[in-house]
A and B are shown apart, each in its own frame.
Chain A
């Protein structure tokens, strides 16, 4: 069974631009969660989608948004990029909601904002 796939692996953008990241979950998994990881901050939860509905949301500004498609694939969008958005963005899929199920993580997308 294929694991969680995130594309692209690396991105370089400039301030003010927007970016879209993609995550394909493990087949059969209905939950996709997104996390931001920066040095010293640990993994910070962005949001979770389950069956195309946003179920949970972390404490991030509205510039961060996401969606989930009927095939459970998910995209995350960041608008008006800031230097502080440079981070490793990880997605995780699980059979059940992330709060009760085991999460399987992708390798992440490393975003650099210049």
Chain B
């Protein structure tokens, strides 16, 4: 089953780009990479997902390496409201809806 590994925590200065890495070396060809975030005391919020091409939406950009073994979520101009836990997930089959513990991003003023 595909599994992801993320750093436990990261800091980013307000206004700078936040780059959150994720390794998913066992990902299969048809599995998407999803990113969610959870702001304290709220339910997780969907950010973006991708298969093999880079993706961008109003919240973030997702860069997936050519071999698909890793990806990076980019928040282009981090604000204090982006302080949250960020989850990188690969849903590998019906019984593996595993979010893990994610990366705690702290945006510093």
Contacts and interface: CB of A to CB of B under 8 A. Distances in A.
Contacts of A100: 32, 91
A7 interface: no
A76 interface: no
A43 B94 contact: no
Contacts of B32: 100
B43 A56 contact: no
B101 interface: yes
B43 A108 contact: yes
B98 A45 contact: yes
B: interface residue count bin: 20 to 34
Contact of A42 (B41, B43, B99): B99
A19 interface: no
Interface in A58-104: 58, 90, 92, 97-100, 102-104
A89 B94 CA distance: 21
B46 A102 contact: yes
Nearest to A42: B101
Contacts of A4: 43
B101 A33 contact: no
A106 B43 contact: yes
Q: Which of B34, B45, B94 has the most CB of A within 10 A?
A: B94
Given A90-B44, A92-B43, A105-B45, 19 more contacts: A4-B43, A41-B101, A42-B100, A42-B102, A48-B97, A56-B94, A56-B97, A92-B44, A97-B94, A99-B91, A99-B94, A99-B96, A100-B32, A100-B91, A102-B46, A103-B44, A105-B43, A106-B43, A108-B42
